[in-house]
Structure 1
Amino acid sequence: MYTHWDVVESLVVLTREVPIFDTDMVLKVVARTHPDMDVRAREEALRGMVSSDLLRVVARSDALELHPQVVEFVRGLAREHELGLSDVLRARVDAIKAATAKLVDGLAENKADQLRSAAQKLSELFRQIAQQLDNDRHAILELAERAKASDANLPLSRRYAEVLEAYDTYVEPMAEMMDSGPEGTFYRHLEQAEQALDHTVETLELRGALYTHRLAMRQIAVQAKELRRLGREVLKHCSDTLLPLRDEFRQNNALSAAITLLLGQVRKRGLQRTLRSAELPLWNRNLPRRVSVGPELLTIMGEALDYQPATVGFPDDDPDAEAMQVDQVDDAALLDALRRDLPINDLLGWLRSHYPHWRDETTLRVFHELIQHSEMSISPSETARTQDLTTVRVRHYPHRLAEEGAIP
């Protein structure tokens, strides 16, 4: 294929119009692709493609055809796919439901082989559906490009025939299948498969399964999530590509029908009886034109004359600004005061009496930091006591502080 790539690529393009080739047609393609070859070299190239199975002889005839796998491979590289069938996509989506049920049964019965088989089946289905969606997206774009590039003098019914067929046979069934409601099967089956895979990963972790098994299940669950995103993207892309062309055909078709009907009435009944003066279109009447100031403009001007800017209060004028300030705690001074007053029988009461201006949040925070000090002898009391703070009342067990080493 590498040696005869240019010829094979040209033949793949011709397969859209002529599926079977004769010898003269292939030789003409070789001559057009390699004009510097003589007749003998062209025949040698043809025999080489036949012997390498790139070209196959059709049974009961001397005609030639490209190997189906060669056609599929070249179209995949050139992004020239044929539009797939929505029924094939629907069958694969339905197969996801069966594989998910098999996965759930294998997990419930703790059958490793069944789990592995169901997971591999789901992975293969996800891969096939993703590949078909990607191929169908490129096929839709190819249809739209061919319709736009065709002769503008052709009737729209012939020019957009493939577009209308693709929309009716692929996009609409695909939209019904990917509906997020109860009638849609795509998202529902994928969501069930995704939930089953996530539950399988969690169960395998609890059972202590091999890391490779858990990793494989997790990667297949990621495939399901990615497939749901790809489905939404492909459906939106296909709809945005074909819907404007379909609407253009319908609008032009309705306009042509209306014009044809009107001309037929004029031909049969005459212009005066068909288009009477009271039924003439509005654009045929003489309408007076006068420029004047509307009431809306006068209202806007009146509001502009009476406009007064609104007063905006700055944060400095807020009476509650002091309540938003943060208490300043001098750790060194606090430790010095503790050192002078040791021993202290009630730490929270001591903090309240020495720093009454602190907020309750600051007092409780400093209290909890001090009772966790590693170099202080701290012992809680066995009797509970209540302590009134600024806004709350705390019921606690007093903590006694005594000297034990140096306080840093």
Structure 2
Amino acid sequence: MIAPRKIIRCLDEHWTVIEQLVERSSSGNFSFQDVQHLILRHNSGMSSEQVFREAQRFLQLEILIPLAKSSQLELNRSVLEFAQQLMQEQQLGLATDIESRILELKRLSERMQQAAQNRDSSELRRFSRVMDERIREVLKHFGQNESAILSLVERAKADEGKLSLARRYAAVMDAFDDYIDPVLALVDINGPFQLTVSAVETMLSDLLQLIEVTGTLNTEKETLIQLRTRLIEMNQVGRESLSRCADLLMPLRDELRRNTLLSRNASFLLGQMRKKGIDLTLEPLVPAISSDSQRFSLGSANQITSYMAELCHYEHDAYQLPEEILSNHSMLMQVPELKDVVHKAKTLKKLPDLSRWLADSYPELPVDELLFLYQELSRSDELSLEHSKHHTELTLNGYKLTLHPFQSSDAGTL
């Protein structure tokens, strides 16, 4: 067994090298020579023999592990996670990691309740420890994923002129689709997270009340109180972490949405130019800055002379305009202002289904724009909206949506 002190001492002496190896681990493995080059770069006074011995030391302490049937190396997974934790460079996890632990909490609560009915204090204590460990793991996942999303946002905002906006924000969009949306469904009022937390909290409260009344299992009272407190903390921390992550990603998502809308309108405009010509397309859009008499006058002698001189050197340039996109639209796409939509919704006495009202009021609007308006209106303080207990299905431009719609707080059930 390797002495932990030797590993800690080696990491302390070569921490700058470890940081470089952690960054390289995200893109692939590395060779023994790469490690030697990194050690020499940060320790220029070492001889070649010393550099070789230090690199060999990494292998002996199992900080670096050779790949199977290869001469390439990788960081030990435990060392990598430890370094990422210190550097706040965690990789974004999956929503299923959190969901699996929540379902495990539900199973353990049933076992704990059975142990309490049998007055088995040792089993009750064991399940309490396991549940406490699962709650800590969920809190750890929320913290690591929030740090990973913060790193994604910082990298996306970096100046990379050679990449398009969609390429720069690809990881951000994947994070929203693969983590934010599934976790939002997980912590929904009817989702497994909230239902499990409420059920476990009720079970623990009933056990504490039973201890107060009967006096049995009194030695486990403090443990159950701490477990219930940590469970409530997990619920609050998870929701706050998810809210912060969404606040970090939403501005970038809105920027990409606006850029996509601009590209659509630009493609439509170029298609109209190809079909009608530049003059007929831009004539209604260009303001008239001269009178009729000025437009039909020939100009002065100097102007005519200069114009004829330029005609002598005129060369026709052929421009290849792109094919028309969205040719079925008769005008440029217009997205309504958010304040106008909110004002229009406020004029209604009752709003039984926000999603259907938006779909009926703006049938020509793309699905992503409708979902953006749906999300903003659901958060608006000017509208008194609440979740419906029943889900509804809505089909928009070929997309089928299933959700618990927002409705007016005084509206009846759907």
> What are the within-5 Å matches in structure 2 for residues 180-199 of structure 1?
180=189, 182=190, 184-199=191-206
Q: Which residue among 269, 273, 278 is the counterpart of 1:266?
A: 273
Q: Which has the larger radius of gyration?
A: 1
Q: Is the 8 A contact 2:211 2:218 kept in 1?
A: no
Distance 1:7 1:153 in 2: 30
- Aligned to 1:36, what secondary structure does the other structure show? coil
Q: Is 1:120 matched with 2:146?
A: no
Q: Which residue among 97, 107, 117 is the counterpart of 1:98?
A: 107
> What are the within-5 Å matches in structure 2 for residues 3-402 of structure 1?
3-18=13-28, 20-180=29-189, 182=190, 184-209=191-216, 212-275=219-282, 277=284, 280=285, 284=287
| Pairwise CA distance, 1:227 | 0.4
Give the residue type in structure 2 aligned to 1:3: E
Give the residue type in structure 1 aligned to 2:140: Q
- C-alpha distance after superposition, 1:319-357 (max 9, x if no partner): xxxxxxxxxxxxxxxxxxxxxxxxxxxxxxxxxxxxxxx
Distance 2:161 2:249 in 1: 18
Distance 2:30 2:224 in 1: 48
Give the residue type in structure 1 aligned to 2:261: A
Give the residue type in structure 2 aligned to 1:252: N
Change in 2 beyond 3 A, CA 1:239/1:169: same
Number of equivalenced pairs: 279
- C-alpha distance after superposition, 1:89-148 (max 9, x if no partner): 111111121112222222223232332232222211101100000000000100000000
| Pairwise CA distance, 1:285 | 6.7
Per the normalisation by structure 2, the TM-score is 0.64
Give the residue type in structure 2 aligned to 1:11: L
- C-alpha distance after superposition, 1:123-180 (max 9, x if no partner): 1110110000000000010000000014144211111000000000100111111112
Give the residue type in structure 2 aligned to 1:256: S
Change in 2 beyond 3 A, CA 1:169/1:285: farther
The residue that corresponds to 1:351 in the other structure is none
- Aligned to 1:2, what secondary structure does the other structure show? helix
Q: Is the 8 A contact 2:121 2:217 kept in 1?
A: no
Distance 2:129 2:212 in 1: 19
Distance 1:177 1:150 in 2: 35
- C-alpha distance after superposition, 1:362-393 (max 9, x if no partner): xxxxxxxxxxxxxxxxxxxxxxxxxxxxxxxx
- C-alpha distance after superposition, 1:239-291 (max 9, x if no partner): 000011011101101111211220122133202433454xx48xx378xxxxx
Moved over 6 A (4+): none
Distance 1:209 1:8 in 2: 53
Change in 2 beyond 3 A, CA 1:219/1:233: same
Q: Is the 8 A contact 1:103 1:196 kept in 2?
A: no
Give the residue type in structure 1 aligned to 2:83: V
Q: Is the 8 A contact 1:4 1:49 kept in 2?
A: no
- Aligned to 1:233, what secondary structure does the other structure show? helix
- C-alpha distance after superposition, 1:58-110 (max 9, x if no partner): 22222211110000001011111000011111111111211122222222232
Q: Is the 8 A contact 2:121 2:220 kept in 1?
A: no
Q: Is the 8 A contact 2:119 2:217 kept in 1?
A: no
Distance 1:68 1:130 in 2: 21
Give the residue type in structure 2 aligned to 1:8: I
Q: Is the 8 A contact 1:150 1:159 kept in 2?
A: no
- Aligned to 1:56, what secondary structure does the other structure show? strand
Give the residue type in structure 2 aligned to 1:135: Q
Q: Is the 8 A contact 2:119 2:216 kept in 1?
A: no
Give the residue type in structure 2 aligned to 1:147: A
- Aligned to 1:65, what secondary structure does the other structure show? strand
Change in 2 beyond 3 A, CA 1:21/1:212: farther
Per the normalisation by structure 1, the TM-score is 0.65
Distance 2:234 2:79 in 1: 27
Change in 2 beyond 3 A, CA 1:209/1:153: same
Q: Is the 8 A contact 2:92 2:148 kept in 1?
A: yes
Aligned-residue CA RMSD (Å): 1.8
Q: Is the 8 A contact 2:95 2:182 kept in 1?
A: yes
